[in-house]
Chains A and B, each alone.
Chain A
Amino acid sequence: MSIYLPIAEISVNIFILFGMGAAVGFLSGMFGVGGGFLMTPLLIFYNIPPAVAVATEANQIVASSFSGALAHLRKGTVDVKLGIMLLVGGLFGSTIGVYVFSLLRSIGQLDLIISILYVVFLGAIGTLMTIESLRAIKKARDNGGDVKVKRPGHNSWIHALPLKMRFRKSKLYLSAIPIVALGTLVGVLAAIMGVGGGFIMVPAMIYLLRVPTNVVIGTSLFQIIFVTAYTTIIQSTTNQTVDVVLAFILMVGGVIGAQFGAAAGHRLKGEQLRALLGLLVLAVCIRLGYDLVITPGDLFSVIGTADQGAH
């Protein structure tokens, strides 16, 4: 059954979109990530204009992160104070990101920059994650039992910074500077790439800020709600590229898929999950990188004024 998307201005198959939402939701529920890094490229492969895909995905992530954060709030695994500090940077970064997004779109380089950012970040994180988890699996096999995630060594330069604050839930006494900076970086990327940024935020919190793993995901989700809500509104007012019909189909598919994914995730060990996620991230990276490198089927592209959105 086809449905006409009022903002994207194209007819799409509602079941395919719903299925995409459910499949990505399943993976995101299984791995505890938002799934934006999978959904945005999928939408672009499905011929949704990149500008609409990115802005609409921010809207969808509001739903999935809100749903996830509620569960974490109930379990008490959210460091609200840390989340708010990340959010301060996130809102600032997102404002910059949407501005850069408009600029890139007007000079015709948006698609390229989106692809390059995906390849670079997915490549780096996918590689690190795969190597780390394969090592953990090997170690678990050698020891014949479970392994703890190694808390990385002391990052002395981060702890030497001024403006220290106490985060009781995370049992941290840490400078506000790296926290706000991390929030800003993720905010910029979230706005340009159409992701929540959890796949960058979570490893950075664990390895750079040394936040205990039990509060990392809840806190990340908590701040992602606000950054993506803010991005949705800014994209709506700046670029008019949020398609609420598309977002709603993806949201419904996503939240349902996530429930089944979470159940499936309980059956796998942590390091196995991380290895699978790492491989998945690498696969998306390779697919996008391949498109940048191979000779395109058509060197030319045409943009009519109608496609440019606001005029």
Chain B
Amino acid sequence: MRRLLSLFTVLFLFAASNAVLAMEKLQMGISVDLVPVSSGFAGQDIVIFGSIENADQAQLYRGEYDVVIEVIGEMEDAIVRKKDWIGGIWVNASSRDYTDVPSYYSVLSRNKLGDVSDLSILNSMGIGIDNLKAKPVDRGNIEEFLTQGEFSSALRRIRIEENLFSEDPTALEQLSPSLFRATLSLPPNVPIGVHKVRAHLFKDGKKLDEIENSFQIRKVGFERWMYDFAHEQSLLYGIMCVLLAIFTGWAANAMFRKN
């Protein structure tokens, strides 16, 4: 029902924007607004769809418009540690603290980012893994960390290895000259929280429009209840864990004694 409603909203917005008839505009919808994480969660595909409105028809048919979609998890702090050889063993010897690091970041597009626009333009807009802006905490200024230094490149590399940062220049398909669809494959370890979906419209390397939407990833049912219980009633939770263990130990003892 809700999905249907959002579809209607999109259609309504199409009509409204046609009436205004000004510049090129993007419209976008997401197949879900809640991704439930329960005991069997093994990742999920979600579909982002939309259209390019008020486009120059000739240019549209020549495919001169480009759409880039960013999916951005919640901002968090991250610590990057580096091991060193000290006294014969490997020890975490140095570290950097960063803030405003997205817990999840994915870029979906039809072409490689370098073909969509100049790297300097993408960098200034913070689009792409290489261009993410986050701040080292201890420096206390606006130094953009992700493009420099071994710690920042390690952060980027490890997040890519963990499937938490990704760029897919084939994920977006053009259904018709003005309609597009992109499939986002959320990995099993995707962090919970509100994830923003931001679509950018480019032509000749210049950004024309941007639209943002979001969906939420949330633990549901038993998992959510258990997590909340452990964090909000931690003493009771601990006692419950102990009682469960005592019961299991007793049950095993009683069961096998008879044999």
Contact = CB atoms under 8 A, between A and B. Distances in A.
B57 to A, nearest CB: 46
Nearest to A252: B248
Contact of B240 (A237, A244, A304): A244
B156 to A, nearest CB: 10
Contacts of A70: 249-250, 253
Contacts of B80: 300-302
B77 interface: yes
Nearest to A301: B81
A11 B41 contact: yes
A71 B103 CA distance: 49
A237 B234 contact: yes
Q: Which residue among B88, B155, B252 has the maximum number of chain A CB atoms within 10 Å of its CB?
A: B252
Contact of B92 (A59, A109, A255): A109
A245 B245 CA distance: 11
B244 A244 contact: yes
A64 B249 contact: yes
A12 B57 CA distance: 51
A7 B226 contact: yes
B237 interface: yes
Interface in A1-43: 2-4, 6-7, 10-11
A115 B234 CA distance: 28
A310 B242 CA distance: 21
- Which secondary structure dominates chain A's binding surface? helix
B146 to A, nearest CB: 13
Contacts of B77: 304-305
Interface string A238-258: 001010110110011001101
B190 to A, nearest CB: 10
Interface residues of A, number: 55
A108 B248 contact: no
A203 to B, nearest CB: 24
**Residue from A7, A229, A236, A258 whose CB has the most chain B CB atoms within 10 Å:** A236
A240 B230 contact: yes
A244 B241 contact: yes
A108 B191 contact: no
Contacts of A112: 89, 91-92
A245 B242 contact: no
Contact of A71 (B85, B89, B253): B253
B250 A236 contact: no
B238 A233 contact: yes
A242 B241 contact: yes
Contacts of A245: 226
22 contacts: A59-B241, A62-B249, A63-B246, A63-B252, A70-B250, A108-B95, A112-B92, A242-B238, A247-B244, A248-B248, A255-B252, A293-B88, A293-B90, A298-B154, A298-B158, A300-B81, A300-B155, A302-B79, A302-B80, A303-B79, A304-B191, A305-B77
Interface pairs A-B: 7 shortest CB-CB? A236-B238, A66-B249, A255-B252, A300-B154, A233-B238, A62-B245, A67-B249
Interface of A: 2-4, 6-7, 10-11, 59-60, 62-67, 70-71, 108-109, 111-112, 116, 229, 232-237, 240, 242, 244-245, 247-248, 251-252, 255-256, 258-259, 292-293, 295-296, 298-306, 310
Given A67-B250, A236-B230, A305-B77, 15 more contacts: A4-B38, A6-B223, A7-B226, A10-B189, A60-B245, A62-B249, A67-B248, A108-B79, A236-B237, A242-B238, A248-B244, A255-B252, A302-B158, A303-B78, A305-B78
